[in-house]
A and B are shown apart, each in its own frame.
Chain A
Amino acid sequence: MGDRPRRVPIGFRYEPPSNAFGWVGRVLRRHPRATREINRSVAPFENLTKVLLFSCNMCGQCVLHETGLTCPMNCPKQNRDGPCGGVRMDGHCEVIPEMMCVWVKAERRSRLLPWRNDILRIQAPLDWRRRGTSAIINMFVDPFAEEEEA
């Protein structure tokens, strides 16, 4: 299913989906304190819109575009790489029987997207420090990059 180069199985760093606005990142990186402030003020608005649209959980490292615009953090097991083996026969969650499995929805929806093969990428493990921060700002500049490079 598709020839697109995959993410390296484990480099274990969250990769932003696009580098088109590289200059924004360069500007932001020069002003780390201002970036933190921007992040703090953008996060509530991002939260509001994304919660309404995708019932977002504000993990701060968004993969919505790769999971058929379905937030994988709504999965009780928080699986970011596909459904667990416990999905009920009717496609509902094993933990919350009245909820449709997040990944059943994700798989169905991702078929409608032109970049449908992205669902096959192996995701990096979550960085839990990013919880509650703005994924959009994090996309441009990694808030924890300096410590890791040092």
Chain B
Amino acid sequence: MSAAVPPRGRFELALRSGRPVVTCEISSADGADPEDVRRRARLVRDYVDAVNVPDNTGGVVHASPISSCAILVQEGIDPIMHMTVRDRNRLALQSDMLSASLLGIRNLLCLSGDHMIHGDHPQAKPVFDIDSVQLVALASYLTREGRYLSGREIKPPPDLFPGAAENPFAPPYDFRPLRLGKKIEAGARFIQTQIIFNVDRFEEFMGRVRDLGLDRKVPILAGVAPIRSVKAARYMRDGVPGMEVPEALIRRMERAGDKKARREEEGIRICVEIIDRLRNMPGIAGFHLMPIQWESAVAEICRQAGLKPATAAPSPTNELVSPLPNP
């Protein structure tokens, strides 16, 4: 483990390859069973370059993404760990960045986090010691300067690959591309967007992003998700702030009926249609699939949309560097 050149993760290599990158999100463990994470990871591993693990998504308690990501590293998958400023102050955040690095996790997606008011512990104290832009800056500071925020040296410094998210579907719409620029200036190396259902709005957003030249600075991955049912679509529209689900999509889901197979097929078809529309949009470096609790849909979406990971899965001889023994 004393390589002179730090090993680049598969995700970074994929982004550098210039080919469209595919990433996907799996939920973190919701019970004390590591096999659960492995099982879900195996459903998606052949179709993606990297796998995201969210941090107490929606303000609902799950296992810490560090643990789930460490399991993904054991499985030979390059994880992207979400980090939110909702639950931890700057001490805990820096300590988690270092811990992640120790466990072979380099890719961090820096977020503010859904407010706990929407989660299962609305009475908790919100932390928000720093904000998401500062979190990106913090991660890149640790890597670039090799120091903690206090100025104390880190020996050896972590080699992090920080990224950020952007939601083009929430007001103030004019400010969103500028905020993206702010995150890139803070040191974000990749961008994953919120789930895209309203392609027209996204097109507008990307036009502005291209005018600012941001798509040439960092790769932008378009977020897409399959809708599982009318109920899920309505919940996303009304229950998840900052999510825009056009009425037309909800009507299409209604027409698909109540039969599980029919509506799931329709949901995947809608997702593939959105991918097809986005595919030729300039400035998009790939796709980020968010099959909320529905990991088995990833294979079907990738097959229908013809999405392939940009990099080949690491062969057994060329495994990702992991300090953990394989089980």
Bound state CA distance, A82 and B170, in angstroms? 12
| Contact residue among B118, B141, B170 (Cβ-Cβ distance under 8 Å from A83) | B170
Q: Is A140 an interface residue (CB 8 A)?
A: no
Contact A120 B178 (CB under 8 A): yes
Contact yes or no, A9 B187, CB < 8 A: yes
Tell me, yes or no, whether B327 is within 8 Å of chain A by CB.
no
Inside 8 A of A120's CB, which chain B residues have their CB?
A: 178, 181-182
A-B contact count (CB 8 A): 121
B114 touches A87 (CB 8 A): no
Chain A neighbourhood of B181, CB < 8 A: 120
In this complex, what residue of B is CB-closest to A90? Answer: B171
- A56-97 vs B, CB cutoff 8 Å, 1 = contact: the mask equals 000000000000000000001111111111111111001100
CA distance A101 to B175 in the complex (A): 13
Name the residue of chain A whose CB is nearest to the CB of B111. Answer: A85
Per DSSP, are chain A's interface residues mostly helix, strand or loop, or mixed? loop
**Which of chain A's residues have a CB closer than 8 A to the CB of B174?**
107
| Minimum Cβ distance to chain B for residue A42 (Å) | 27
Smallest CB gap from B118: residue in A = A94
Q: How far is the CA of A1 from the CA of B208 in the complex (A)?
A: 12
Q: Is the CB of A87 within 8 A of B131?
A: no
Determine if B101 is an interface residue (Cβ-Cβ < 8 Å): no
> Which range holds the interface residue count of chain A?
35 or more
- Say which one of B20-28, B65-73, B132-140, B261-269 lies at the interface with A: B132-140
Known pairs A10-B186, A120-B181; A84 contacts B132 (CB<8 A) = yes
Q: Which of B149, B185, B244 contacts A12 (CB 8 A)?
A: B149
Q: Is the CB of A125 within 8 A of B129?
A: yes
Residues A86 and B90 in contact, CB atoms below 8 Å apart: no
**A85-B149 contact, Cβ under 8 Å, with A104-B172, A120-B178:** no
Question: Taking the complex as formed, is B229 at the interface, i.e. its CB lies under 8 A from any CB of chain A?
Answer: no
Find out whether the CB atom of B115 lies under 8 angstroms from the CB atom of A95.
yes
A84 with B112: in contact, given A1-B178, A120-B178, A125-B130 (CB under 8 Å)?
yes
User: Which B residues are in CB contact (< 8 Å) with A76?
Assistant: 115, 117, 126
In the complex, the answer to whether A122 meets B137 with C-beta atoms within 8 Å is yes
- Could you jot down 8 A-B contacts, CB within 8 Å? A1-B178, A10-B138, A81-B182, A82-B178, A87-B170, A94-B118, A122-B137, A125-B130
